[in-house]
Structure formats: C-alpha cells, structure tokens
Amino acid sequence: MNYQKTEVRAIDHIGITVPDIESASRFLEEALGATTIYDNVIPSDPPQRGAETEQKLGVAKGAAIVHMRMMRIGDGACIELFEMKVPGERQRDIIPSDLGLQHFAVYTEDIEATAKKFEQAGGRLLTGPNEMLGREGGEGNQFLYAVTPWGSFVELITYPSELEIERTTPLRRWKPRPGRDEH
C-alpha cells in the first residue's frame, strides 16, 4: 500500500456537545453498544469555565463544562461527550448542509438490526438503508443516515463486499475488524 507517511496515526475521538450526558450515554449504549470508559468532569466537580477554558477550547464566553465523558463504540475511535451550560439562548441544531462536522459513521455488520436498535433507543431514521453507489458500490454495501435525540447526524454503514474503487487502487479505507475488541 502507498499511504502517506506521517506522524498522525488515526482519529482518536470526536467530541459532541449534548443537552444531557446521562440521556445521551444511555442512547449510545442502547443504539450502538457504546461503553463508558471514564468521566473526566463530573457534576460534583467545579465546572470548567472562564477565560482559560474559552481560549483553550473555543467555547462561548461564559460557557461552563459541567460533565464530560469518554465512550467507545467497538473497534474504533472514541466519542467524547460534553454537557455545557451556556448563558443566553441555545443555537439551532447543526444540519449536514452547514459548514463543519456534519456526521460520524459507525460500521455495522447488520444495518437492519442496528437501525432498529437506533430507533427503539429514541433516534430517528432517514430513508433507507440505501445502496452505496459509484466507487463505493458493491453487493450488500449500504448506508442509512439517522438522527440522535439531541440532533446529531449518524451514518450507519456496512460494506461487506469489495468497494468498486478497490479494483483500481491498492489504497484501502479503514474497516473495523469483525467482532468486538474488548481492549
């Protein structure tokens, strides 16, 4: 394979601000099989706030981080949840046509079963599952966009067959190992 040599290894985690960490954690556990690794800030701690936090993290003036939790889904990057108190009105939900992070994707071996769990846990499914097209096409290769109870977009994805593009290049996208890694 001809991957670019770099000191960067992989995506370590993504951070998501949620209205209530306990509810969001329960949803991620029920919908996607997530596991809590640790809490970095708990509600009984003094909140992280002030000019230093604003400068380090780019949060709004007066924002306070009241709860922060690291979770893991299977054999991939972690999800860091933030619960913040922000003075004033809450922003509208971000949608995929806005600039910035629009969604994260989770690989599943059974997209129908995962979609059912996602919906039963309180998420909303968009249309699908849909066939992956173009260079990602292949038998059984599918995706489905869904929305968490707090408004983040998640793509459920499975590509058990070789992607069409793999016939023309030795480069491969990352794919989790079968089964769950418990390390």
Average pLDDT over residues 78-104: 82
Question: Domain range for residue 159?
Answer: 13-167
Residue 43: pLDDT above 80? yes
For residue 40, give both structure tokens: 């970095």
- For the chain, the three-class secondary structure string (H helix, E strand, C coil) is CCCCCCCCCCCCEEEEEECCHHHHHHHHHHHHCCEEEEEEECCCCCCEECHHHHHHHCCCCCCEEEEEEEEECCCCCEEEEEEEECCCCCCCCCCCCCCCCCCEEEECCCHHHHHHHHHHCCCEECCCCEECCHHHCCCCCEEEEEECCCCCEEEEEECCCCCHHHHCCCCCCCCCCCCCCCC
d(C-alpha 117, C-alpha 144), whole Å: 13
Q: Residue 103: give its domain's CATH number.
A: 3.10.180.10
Domain contains 3: no
Residue 180: pLDDT above 70? no
Residue 2: pLDDT above 60? no
What is the value of pTM for the model shown? 0.82
Average pLDDT over residues 108-117: 96
pLDDT for 25 equals 98
Domain contains 8: no
> Cα angle at 128 between 125 and 130, to 5 degrees?
140
User: Residues 4-38: pLDDT tens digits?
Assistant: 676 777 788 999 999 999 999 999 999 999 999 99
Mean pLDDT of the residues in the chain: 89
Domain contains 176: no
User: Residues 60-83: pLDDT tens digits?
Assistant: 889 999 999 999 998 889 999 999
Closest alpha carbon to 42 in 75, 16, 68, 74: 68
Closest alpha carbon to 148 in 89, 107, 179, 106: 106
What is the number of alpha carbons within 13 Å of residue 60 lying toward its C-beta? Answer: 12
Domain contains 1: no
> Cα angle at 112 between 109 and 114, to 5 degrees?
65
Task: Read off the pLDDT band of 183 (50, 70, 90).
Answer: very low
Domain tally for the chain?
1
For residue 141, give both structure tokens: 């290769």
Closest alpha carbon to 84 in 21, 8, 158: 21
Domain contains 6: no
Percentage above 70 pLDDT, the chain: 92
